[in-house]
Amino acid sequence: MSALGIFSQLLALVTALLLAPLLTGWVNQWRAWLQNKSAPGLLQPYRMLHKLFKKESLVAEHASSLFRMAPYLIFGCMALASAIIPTLSTDLPLSPAADAIALVGLFALARVFISLAAMDIGTAFGTLGARREMLVGFLAEPALLMVLFCASMITKSTSLTAIVETLAHRELAIYPSLLLAGVAFTMVSLAENARVPVDNPDTHLELTMIHEALILEYSARHLALLEWAASLKLFAYSCIGLALFFPWGVAEANAPLALVLALPMLVFKLAMGGMALAMVETASAKMRIFRVPEFLGTAFLLAVIGLLVNVLLGVG
Amino acid sequence: MNSLTHPGAWIHLDWVLVVVVAWLLIGLAGVLALRRFRFVAVVLFPMGACFSVLLMAVALSAAFASPEVAVLPLGLPQLPFHLRLDSLSAFFLLLIGGVSAGVSAFAAGYFRQGEGTPPGLICLEYHVFLASIALVVMADDAYVFMVVWETMAFSSFFLVMANHRIPEIRNAGYLYMLVAHIGALGILLCFGLLQANTGDYTFANMRQQHLTPFWGSVAFVLAVFGFGAKAGVLPLHAWLPEAHPAAPSPFSALMSGVMLKIALYGMLRVAFDLLQDQIWWWGVLLMTLGLASALFGVVFSTVQVEMKRLLAYSSIENIGLICTGLGLSLLFFSYGMQALSALALTAALYHMISHAFFKSLLFCSTGAVMHATGERSLGKLGGLIRTMPWVAWPTLMGVLACGGLPPFGGFVAEWLLLQSFLFTTGLPSAFLDMLVPVMAALIALIAALSGYTMVKYFGVIFLGQPREEKLQAAHDAGWWERMGMLWLVSGCMLLGLFPNQVIALMEPVTKSLVQAGLAHTASDNSWLLVPVSMERASYAPAIFLLGVLAAFGLAFVLVRKLYHGRMRRVPPWDCGHPWQTARMQDTAEGFGQPIRQIFEPFFRMKRHLPSAFDAQPHYRVTVEDPLWYWLYLPVARLVERVSRIVGMLQQGRIAVYLMYSFATLVVVLLVVKR
């Protein structure tokens, strides 16, 4: 564990915490523009967080301590997730503690807690949201795992840093398995981040919402933490996508100069990704909830086919 | 004082026998104090728990010792009891001791006056059961194995029937007995084949025999059938969701947590130790059965509306996952890939021990909930986290472990299993190579579904608003129950946080069965779990937990430092709906509905929907196991028909029976003469 390693670990964490709301703001801005609306400023998510943190928290009278604990725990999970994903550098001291499977476990832990917290108050919307969230989760989680396995089959490792290092050094060729995995990953990340066509981050129409129904009872600092965690999740997913499919520009061990270059590279890649996300969201329509299993089932199958192609073609 | 078995010195085996004898004595004391409820609860059960801890300590030290054998002058003349304590037995004794210590402590506070069987008798059955399972894992010949195996089956049958006045419980007990004995038949035949006509039924002799591939395969299939029936592997699982809810909760905990593992022990002993030349398709068979059970179990457990049935189906799922691991290990072993075989075997063993702890914990929690509320249907519970925090929080830990979430033991087991699937490429057969990723995908799906089930289980029982008035008055668990549950929780935690130390315990087992271990890679780095090599994969649950907790704490402190921590209690918001009743929450049926819809072909479902013009509209849905109709009932009808034909011989007149005897004698004489 070198000093540079610790520095790049801290840098990655701080970057994630600071950039995540900005990414959300950027996507929202593009969405508004593409839909011919006047967009809120880029910094709107920060203003929102500041406002929420200032407010007094209103908690339902019979809420248990699980309800009050959950936002901190979910925030903690997402912060750890964004710390172990190689965003800027692959020299991360925390990375051996959790590999790709543990990362999926981390997302699952956060999902279980947000669902339990939503069920705690015992309102109709909360339990409905919890059920839908778990429905999306049980299909998206294995699909994400299969996407990561496609990459680890190629690189012979489930460690995220090792995957990125190996993928960044191969010659520029299109692996058919990664292509399939890429499509599957896009579908999964739309579902997992509560985006159109699975969920609509803007909606407050009871019959369609998933993520909003889960956090309906939260206010002030609890809500702020959950919103921040949601944008961290979007950031983390974007970074997984970049790490798997566009791994270039990430600094490696003993390369301090590359670390300096990695940050603008990351911002550029994220900006492109955010624009693409806004376009996908604008171009598609929200699905009925019972179409979602089909959508995610397709993603799961695509990823499994990717894995099979890997074995068949023997591209080690 | 000198030992009985080895004059001169006490060995581990003697200590285990001491525990066994102590349990039997405690059982006898229970009979003497048949109705002295306080004595049985406060003295005998805690004493049993103390001996469980002793057993655990002995097993811990025996795990690293060389195998010990003993011959007891019991049993029939010329057929003494052979016992053997090797690392595999020690591992299972550790599991038995660890789980039963917690469950016995819980049981001390659980049994109430005037319920079914008198407390002293339950104490006898319970401790005879414990003693017999401890002997099963040490048996070293087929004779003693079958004797203690049947003792285990009978004592557990009586425990299942503790509330025998209820007809459903009698039915469940009968079904359990039936399946147990059909299974025992398979095991008996398997041992018959394994001794290969030598007439010597000791396991030591069986290890020397090399069966032909055909007879070896027959023996293996019989073992899978016999032990699978006891473990609840598809399609012999039907007794499990009936017997688990029927038994008193501490005993359901032991049955699910320990007895199912003992059945898997038998499978492990026969497949890896007694049989010599493994064939590749044995592994594939076991994997297929395992995956089918796991998927079936998890899908059915999501739609259950009764808490113990839900857990019973979840046990089927976990047993399926363990069988998958065992099958994979067998497959690798048959191709001589020992390192990978050890990895898969470690995953299976890890899953066994962590499932033993978390599932017993969850069954104990159902017992506490049933005592406090008198309800076992999920649809009538809710909101118990506020009245029963001592049950709710330990249950939450069990739920997270059962859902396969980090940093608990269930996750480590799944992680190891996925790792062993992921590095499979390189099997000699291309077809198998292709099958493996598909199986890994199924395992990921099953793991995710079990998370769904567990959210349903915890959320519907402990969260939300109470669905019945009387739940407001539910009392929390007593001190003994709390102690038992906390013991099991600490087991789940230790298994999750210190995987290297646990794997070090399994290393002698894998070394002796597949001649390879993981621990040399694990011990280099005491915090990191590194199953193959550092570049391939690593996982450090302790650092993982510290990372989440550090972020949790920092967020908590910083929010208070930079802003404030003000909070006000108000009525729930719920989009501004002014009134909220408990009946507006999702029911257990509602929570399972998406799964019912997606996996519709799995179920045999009857649904009654109300029409708009009903005066008293009601909605009813029943979900049944299709295998019951495809397999069990046809077999039952066939047996009935055959027995009716056989019944024709039965005239009830002594002259006819004498006639039969005469005819038999003549036939025998004819045969013998030739």
**B201-220 pLDDT per residue, tens:** 888 888 888 888 898 899 99
End-to-end CA distance of chain B: 60
* Contacts of B213 by beta carbon, 8 Å cutoff, 6+ apart: B277, B279
Measured between beta carbons, the chain B residues lying within 8 angstroms of A74 are none
Nearest CA in chain A to B454: A112
Measured between beta carbons, the chain B residues lying within 8 angstroms of A122 are 382-383, 463-465, 572, 580, 582, 585
pLDDT tens digits along B251-291: 999 999 999 999 999 999 999 888 888 888 898 999 999 99
| A14, A68, A127, A155: best to mutate for the B interface, most B CBs within 10 A | A127
Of A256-265, A295-304, B46-55, B380-389, minimum mean pLDDT range: A256-265
C-alpha span between B174 and B171 (Å, rounded): 5
Predicted pLDDT at A185: 92
Put residue A156 in one of left, alpha, beta given phi > 0 → left and psi -120 to 50 → alpha: left
Q: Give the type of residue at A21.
A: P
User: Residue B659, Cα to own-chain centre: how many angstroms?
Assistant: 51
CB atoms B536 and A157 under 8 Å? yes
* Contacts of B144 by beta carbon, 8 Å cutoff, 6+ apart: B75, B81, B82, B83, B135
Nearest CA in chain B to A156: B536
Closest CB to B433: pick one of A162, A206, A311: A311
Predicted pLDDT at B135: 92
Whether ipTM exceeds 0.95: no
Residues shown for chain B: 674
Burial class (CB in 10 A: 0-12, 13-18, 19+), A249: middle
Percent of chain B with pLDDT over 90: 32
Mean pLDDT, range B328-334, rounded to an integer: 90
Across A137-185, the runs of DSSP E, i.e. the strands, are: none
Predicted pLDDT at A1: 57
> With an 8 Å Cβ cutoff, is B144 touching chain A?
no
How close does chain A come to B632, measured CA to CA in Å? 32
CB atoms B543 and A94 under 8 Å? yes
C-alpha span between B206 and A84 (Å, rounded): 51
* Contacts of B637 by beta carbon, 8 Å cutoff, 6+ apart: none
Phi, psi of B537 (to 5 degrees): -165, 150
Determine contact, residues B524/B386, Cβ cutoff 8 Å: no
How close does chain B come to A202, measured CA to CA in Å? 15
Burial class (CB in 10 A: 0-12, 13-18, 19+), A246: middle
Question: How is A164-177 classified by DSSP, letter by letter?
Answer: HHHHHHS-S---HH
> With an 8 Å Cβ cutoff, is B185 touching chain A?
no
Determine contact, residues B359/B322, Cβ cutoff 8 Å: no
> With an 8 Å Cβ cutoff, is A162 touching chain B?
yes
The angle formed by the CA atoms of residues B528, B530 and B536, to the nearest 5 degrees, is 125
CB atoms A124 and B574 under 8 Å? yes
C-alpha span between B330 and A110 (Å, rounded): 36
How close does chain A come to B514, measured CA to CA in Å? 24
Which residue reads 């009979």 in tokens?
B31
Across B415-548, the runs of DSSP E, i.e. the strands, are: none
Q: Which two tokens stand for residue B546?
A: 């510290």
Predicted pLDDT at A204: 66
Question: How is A195-236 classified by DSSP, letter by letter?
Answer: -TTT--TT---TTT-SHHHHTTT--HHHHHHHHHHHHHHHHH
> With an 8 Å Cβ cutoff, is B235 touching chain A?
no
Determine contact, residues B141/B201, Cβ cutoff 8 Å: yes
**With 50 as the cut, is the pLDDT of residue A85 above it?**
yes
> With an 8 Å Cβ cutoff, is A306 touching chain B?
no
Measured between beta carbons, the chain A residues lying within 8 angstroms of B581 are none
Exposure b/e, A117-132, CB count within 10 A at least 16 = b: bbbbbbbbbbbbbbbb
Q: How confident is the model at residue B185 (pLDDT cuts 50, 70, 90)?
A: very high
Measured between beta carbons, the chain B residues lying within 8 angstroms of A79 are 551, 555
> With an 8 Å Cβ cutoff, is B434 touching chain A?
yes
Nearest CA in chain B to A155: B536
Q: Which helix (H) or strand (E) holds B73?
A: strand B68-76
How close does chain B come to A158, measured CA to CA in Å? 5
CB atoms within 10 A of CB B630: 12
How close does chain B come to A61, measured CA to CA in Å? 5
| B423, B432, B439, B559: best to mutate for the A interface, most A CBs within 10 A | B559
Determine contact, residues A70/A117, Cβ cutoff 8 Å: yes
> With an 8 Å Cβ cutoff, is A279 touching chain B?
no
| Cα-based torsion angle of the residue sequence A285, A288, A290, A293 in order, rounded to the nearest 10 degrees | 20
Beta-strand pair B604-608/B567-570? unpaired
Determine contact, residues A154/A182, Cβ cutoff 8 Å: no
Measured between beta carbons, the chain A residues lying within 8 angstroms of B572 are 60-62, 121-123, 217
> With an 8 Å Cβ cutoff, is B531 touching chain A?
no
Q: How confident is the model at residue A315 (pLDDT cuts 50, 70, 90)?
A: low
C-alpha span between B492 and B362 (Å, rounded): 11
Q: How confident is the model at residue B425 (pLDDT cuts 50, 70, 90)?
A: low
Query: Dihedral of CA B371/B376/B378/B379: which sign?
Result: negative
Closest CB to B444: pick one of A80, A146, A221: A146
Interface of A with B in 118-157 (CB under 8 A): 119-128, 130-132, 134-135, 137-139, 141-142, 145-146, 149, 152-153, 156-157
> With an 8 Å Cβ cutoff, is A165 touching chain B?
no
> With an 8 Å Cβ cutoff, is B411 touching chain A?
yes
C-alpha span between A105 and A116 (Å, rounded): 16
Instruction: Name, of B51-60, B535-544, B572-581, B622-631, the range with top average pLDDT.
Output: B51-60
**With 70 as the cut, is the pLDDT of residue A188 above it?**
yes
CB atoms A73 and B548 under 8 Å? yes
Burial class (CB in 10 A: 0-12, 13-18, 19+), B213: exposed
Exposure b/e, B570-594, CB count within 10 A at least 16 = b: eebbbeeeeebeeebbbbbbebbbb
- A2 or B370, which is more confident: B370
Query: Dihedral of CA B517/B523/B525/B528: which sign?
Result: positive
Q: How confident is the model at residue A2 (pLDDT cuts 50, 70, 90)?
A: confident
Predicted pLDDT at B2: 38
Measured between beta carbons, the chain B residues lying within 8 angstroms of A125 are 574-575
Mean pLDDT, range B655-669, rounded to an integer: 90
Q: Which two tokens stand for residue B331?
A: 């497959």
Query: Is B606 in a helix, a strand, or coil?
Result: strand
Mean pLDDT, range B582-595, rounded to an integer: 82
The angle formed by the CA atoms of residues A19, A22 and A23, to the nearest 5 degrees, is 85
- Report the mean per-residue pLDDT for chain B: 86
DSSP A59: E
CB atoms B539 and A101 under 8 Å? yes
Closest CB to A122: pick one of B449, B538, B585: B585
Q: Which two tokens stand for residue A284?
A: 């598609």
Closest CB to B459: pick one of A59, A97, A130: A130
Query: Is B68 in a helix, a strand, or coil?
Result: strand
Radius of gyration of chain A (CA): 19
* Contacts of A281 by beta carbon, 8 Å cutoff, 6+ apart: A27, A31, A195, A196
C-alpha span between B316 and B322 (Å, rounded): 10
Residue in B183, B186, B181, B130 with CA at minimum distance from that of residue B159: B130
Query: Is B276 in a helix, a strand, or coil?
Result: coil
Calculate helix-pair angle for A160-169, A220-245, nearest 10 degrees: 40
C-alpha span between A72 and A113 (Å, rounded): 10
> With an 8 Å Cβ cutoff, is A215 touching chain B?
no
Q: Which helix (H) or strand (E) holds B175?
A: helix B167-194
C-alpha span between B416 and B328 (Å, rounded): 12
> With an 8 Å Cβ cutoff, is A315 touching chain B?
no
Exposure b/e, B346-356, CB count within 10 A at least 16 = b: bbbbbbbbbbb
> With an 8 Å Cβ cutoff, is A20 touching chain B?
no
CB atoms within 10 A of CB A26: 22
Q: How confident is the model at residue B76 (pLDDT cuts 50, 70, 90)?
A: confident
**Number of A–B residue contacts, CB under 8 Å:** 267
CB atoms A157 and B537 under 8 Å? yes
Closest CB to B464: pick one of A120, A125, A300: A120
**With 50 as the cut, is the pLDDT of residue B113 above it?**
yes
Q: Give the type of residue at B57.
A: A
CB atoms B448 and A73 under 8 Å? no
CB atoms within 10 A of CB B597: 11
How close does chain A come to B372, measured CA to CA in Å? 19
Measured between beta carbons, the chain B residues lying within 8 angstroms of A299 are none
C-alpha span between B671 and B662 (Å, rounded): 14
Measured between beta carbons, the chain A residues lying within 8 angstroms of B396 are 66
Q: Which two tokens stand for residue B56?
A: 């655990």
Q: How confident is the model at residue A207 (pLDDT cuts 50, 70, 90)?
A: low
Q: How confident is the model at residue B623 (pLDDT cuts 50, 70, 90)?
A: confident
Q: How confident is the model at residue B525 (pLDDT cuts 50, 70, 90)?
A: low
Determine contact, residues B37/B119, Cβ cutoff 8 Å: yes
pTM listed for this prediction? 0.92
* Contacts of A61 by beta carbon, 8 Å cutoff, 6+ apart: B569, B570, B571, B572
C-alpha span between B137 and B483 (Å, rounded): 28
**With 70 as the cut, is the pLDDT of residue A205 above it?**
no
Nearest CA in chain B to A309: B434
Of B189-193, B343-347, B591-595, B635-639, minimum mean pLDDT range: B591-595
The angle formed by the CA atoms of residues B366, B403 and B455, to the nearest 5 degrees, is 65
> With an 8 Å Cβ cutoff, is A53 touching chain B?
yes
pLDDT tens digits along A140-184: 989 999 898 888 888 888 888 888 888 887 776 777 888 888 999
Count of H helices and E strands in chain B?
A: 27, 5
